[in-house]
Each structure stands twice: as C-alpha cells, then as structure tokens.
Amino acid sequence: MGMIIVDAARNSTTYFWGERTSTIDWCEENYVVSNYIAEFWNSITNSIFVALALLGMHTTIKHRQGKRIFACYAALMFVGCGSVSFHATLKYTTQLLDELPMLYLCGLVIYALVEINKETRYGIKAPLILIAMQAAITAIYVFWIQSPVFHQVAFALTAFGGVGCGLKRLKEMQLSNRTKRILGRLHLLGHVGMWGGFLVWNLDNVFCHRLRSYRAHVGTPLDVFLQLHGWWHILTAYGSTYLLLWVHFIRLARLGHDHLFTIKYRLGFLPYIAMKTPKKID
C-alpha cells in the first residue's frame, strides 16, 4: 500500500543523504525544496505531532495524572520525531523509526486502559505480554516479512484493539451526561482525523502522477496544498491526539475526577485537558 516512486536523479549520492535505501518513497518530489531534506513538506508537517504531544505531556505532569498517560503522549512525540527522520533521509533504518513507534504507541494505550486504576491489577504480567507481542511483530517485520503492508495491518489491528479496550471500559462505568458528551466528541474527532488522513493518504498513492502534474502547474506556494501525504500527517496527528485525550478522559472518569476537567485549546488549535479549577490532584 506504500508508494515507491523512482526519483532516480534525486536519489543519487550527490544529495546530502545519498541514495534512498527505504522500501517506500512517497509522492513528494525528493530534494526539491532543500538539498538537506529529502521530502521537505513530509518532514515539517510532523511538527504538529511534537507540539500536541508536548502539550499532553505538560498536562499530565502539571496535574500529576500518572506515568502511563504520560508515556502515551511521549510515544506520540516519538512517532513524530521518527517520521521526521524518515522523510528527511529516506533510509531504511529511519523508516523503521517511523513505522515501529506507531505500534508501540498503540501497545502503551492498551496497557493504560488495561491498568486504568491508580494501582495496577496484573502486576508484571500485563506489560510482559504486551512487550512480547510487540517484540514478535517487530522481529517478524525486520527479519522476515519486510513488507510495509504487514506493518500497516499489524498497526491497524493493534489500534482497533486499543479502541476496543476503551469502549469496554466505558461500558463498565456510570458516566454523567457532560462526561458522555465530552467523550463522544473526542472519540468522533479522533476517528474523523484518522479516517480522513487515511483517505488523503490513499489519494496521494493512487493519483500521485496527476498530483505531481498539478503541483507543477500551480507552482509555489499553492503546490503545498497538494502535498497530500503531509495532510495525512496533520490529520492523523489530530486524530491520534483526540483518541489519546479520549483515553485520558476515560481514566479521569474511572478515578472520579472527570467533573474537574474539560477540553481547552492552546492558541486556538492545540487541544488539551485542563482543569476547571486551579486545584491539583494526586
């Protein structure tokens, strides 16, 4: 399902990162904007992952909301950083840094939902099982089935597993109408971001040659709006963040603190969980 576009002239050793070794090359023309960044727009659009993740990490520290939720936001930042390194270099090693953290993020989300209470229930068993599963998928992908399709299927199944765990937790709790509205909105926006991103990702793959022609026709700066893989990054960054906020708010509801919190936006476009009162909780 990934694109391999042969940009022979722009994959030569004359460019900063040399010849492409990744198994995937996306629709953005290589080394057009900068001789030091292979896919410029595909690289910088990942900054939204980092911004949203840092805001979530700050929230969990400020309100002392647990290492498990903090780890999920940290993993989201790692996803963005790995994607930057991949699109900037188009090397196989950095491709793994782009792809594998997505799986690990989903694994952390599942763990945060399984061990949703303040005190852990399953001890060392739950993390060991999840680590073993992630390690098995990683080993199969790196040493056996080195196909992006395998990674995409494994990621999708793990992501659906995380959503399923969240829905199961919701059925176990009695929620106020306000909390139901907040969770419903977060869940909806998360899926809109993820499925919207998946749509433009496929459009970028299927209609790449046409998009390249259109970009050449409209020229700079309008061509940036036709960099659909970059829009995939933006949409999935928001989709992932809204789903993490959904998980975060589920845990607040489980601990009985949901009435103290709401969703706010920093700078008008960066969503985060904020307290309705200045009081901090343990």
Annotated binding residue 25: yes
CA distance 188 to 180: 12
**Which single residue is written with the structure tokens 């809109």?**
192
Q: Is 29 annotated as a binding residue?
A: no
- 259 annotated ligand-binding residue: no
Q: Report the distance separating Cα 139 and Cα 130, nearest Å.
A: 14
CB-CB neighbours of 1 under 10 Å: 12
Residue length, the chain?
282
CB 67 within 8 A of CB 57: no
Radius of gyration of the chain (CA): 20
119 is in an annotated binding site: no
User: Is 229 assigned a ligand-binding role in the annotation?
Assistant: yes
195 is in an annotated binding site: no
The residues, ordered by sequence, that sit 6+ positions from 27 with a Cβ below 8 Å of its Cβ are 3, 5, 204, 205, 208, 211, 212, 227, 228, 229
Residue carrying the six token digits 């909301």:
65
Q: Would you list which residues are annotated within the binding site for Ca(2+)?
A: 25-26, 28, 30, 39
Q: Would you list which residues are annotated within the binding site for Zn(2+)?
A: 87, 229, 233
Q: Would you list which residues are annotated within the binding site?
A: 25-26, 28, 30, 39, 87, 229, 233
